[in-house]
Structure 1
């Protein structure tokens, strides 16, 4: 009996190899359980993959495609397999560009999840992406992917009301859902709840002003920038503020850029006075 609670692999056999570049393998390991019993452990050895939560002008990029195993169309975040000798962040940039055409200025890691821990070795690396430049998608052979744009409130399930509203169109991919939930926790720590969809521009601008003008000195400013995008990015006036801020928020004149953004948000909020 193992006192540390770990399983021990004694041997391994490959039953089948296939998939992209023959990187997916059906395996059977001969293993010893913590209680000392010898067992056969079948599983799928699969490469790591990525999912990318990309925000562009107030909306989240989603992709819809038919999935063979479940015979259903699933809408989830852009992503795909990490190539051999490729860093997960590089795979995230590549997959985002291939599936949606978006070129991300920066990525922010949301950690890793395992999607089928008892039957597959796959790990999924999760990222936020922002500062995106639109471009043309470049799909792999055999892919039939359609890009969709959703408001943050349509994918975030922070409240019971939002969850009930999303039930009919909820994300079908567990890794995508994990990315949304982790991103939501970060964004709420930055500025609280993103303004609701039915909030008018002055109220959204006031919320953006409070975030731009009173940033947490310990927080990553890229998250503040993303929060602002989700709050006011879908408005033309907000997009103009963001374009200027994105160009200089982290440079030598970064503090002045944040001050200008706060002042412009305050001016848009003046009808509330």
Structure 2
């Protein structure tokens, strides 16, 4: 009987090795359970993947592709396997650029999630990306995918029928779902609920004014920028204010940049 309630590996053997660079292995461990019984534990050892939630002007980048094991198209966030010796953040930047052409100015870590905790070792590393600029796509051999931009509300829509109508290929990847939910929790802490799909520019600008003028000094300013982007970035007037704010939000005149943006959002709300 194990006093610490843990399983313990006694031995391990590899039954099969394959995949890119022989990075996927089917293994069987001789493991002792907490009750003291030793059993064979088969599992797949595979490289950890990344998933990237990239926000740009009120929308999120998504990719749709056919997945062999499930024989269906799945829409999820851009991502892929971490190469040997590669840092997760570097892999996130690389995969985002390869699959969508987007180069992110910065990444915000959202933690990890075990994607198949009982049968595989992989843990998906999740990131929020912003300040994206377009570039060329560079897909791996054998990859065929479609990139699309989706409004934030379609990813967090509580009405399933509305979601299904707007988004036929709903998120089919658990790590992508986790990234959306964790981002949503972070943004609620910054400014509460984001404007809904039914809100017009004026209502969105009021919310943006509040976030820009009264942002939490403990919070990461970059998260405030993401909140503002999702709120008003889809409007030309809001995007113009964001462009100016992004260039000066963390410089010597950061506070003045935030206050100027707040004044501009307030004026925008009062004139519409």
Scaled by the length of structure 1, the TM-score of the pair is 0.96
For 1:127, the equivalent position in structure 2 comes to 127
For 1:8, the equivalent position in structure 2 comes to 8
- Per the TM alignment, residue 145 of structure 1 is displaced from its structure 2 partner at its CA by 1.4
Q: Is residue 162 of structure 2 the alignment partner of residue 165 of structure 1?
A: yes
> What SS class does the counterpart of residue 43 from structure 2 fall into?
strand
Structure 1 window deviating more from structure 2 (47-56 vs 3-12): it is 3-12
Query: Matched residues in 1 for 2:161 and 2:219: separation?
Result: 31
For 1:98, the equivalent position in structure 2 comes to 98
Number of paired residues? 269
For 1:149, the equivalent position in structure 2 comes to 149
Query: Matched residues in 2 for 1:241 and 1:164: separation?
Result: 35
- Per the TM alignment, residue 5 of structure 1 is displaced from its structure 2 partner at its CA by 0.9
CA contact (8 A) 2:58 2:230 kept: yes
- Per the TM alignment, residue 18 of structure 1 is displaced from its structure 2 partner at its CA by 0.5
Query: Matched residues in 2 for 1:61 and 1:246: separation?
Result: 20
- Per the TM alignment, residue 169 of structure 1 is displaced from its structure 2 partner at its CA by 3.9
Q: Is residue 26 of structure 2 the alignment partner of residue 26 of structure 1?
A: yes
- Within a 5 Å distance, the mapping from 1:196-215 to structure 2 comes to 196-215=196-215
For 1:74, the equivalent position in structure 2 comes to 74
- Per the TM alignment, residue 164 of structure 1 is displaced from its structure 2 partner at its CA by 4.3
CA contact (8 A) 2:57 2:230 kept: yes
- Per the TM alignment, residue 33 of structure 1 is displaced from its structure 2 partner at its CA by 0.9
For 2:137, the equivalent position in structure 1 comes to 137
- Per the TM alignment, residue 234 of structure 1 is displaced from its structure 2 partner at its CA by 0.6
Give the gaps of 5 or more residues in structure 1.
none
CA contact (8 A) 2:195 2:231 kept: yes
- Within a 5 Å distance, the mapping from 1:208-223 to structure 2 comes to 208-223=208-223
RMSD: 1.1
CA contact (8 A) 2:74 2:169 kept: no
Query: Matched residues in 2 for 1:34 and 1:96: separation?
Result: 41
> What SS class does the counterpart of residue 260 from structure 2 fall into?
helix
Q: Is residue 263 of structure 2 the alignment partner of residue 266 of structure 1?
A: no
- Per the TM alignment, residue 138 of structure 1 is displaced from its structure 2 partner at its CA by 0.9
> What SS class does the counterpart of residue 269 from structure 1 fall into?
helix
Q: Is residue 52 of structure 2 the alignment partner of residue 52 of structure 1?
A: yes
For 1:195, the equivalent position in structure 2 comes to 195
CA contact (8 A) 2:73 2:169 kept: no
Scaled by the length of structure 2, the TM-score of the pair is 0.96
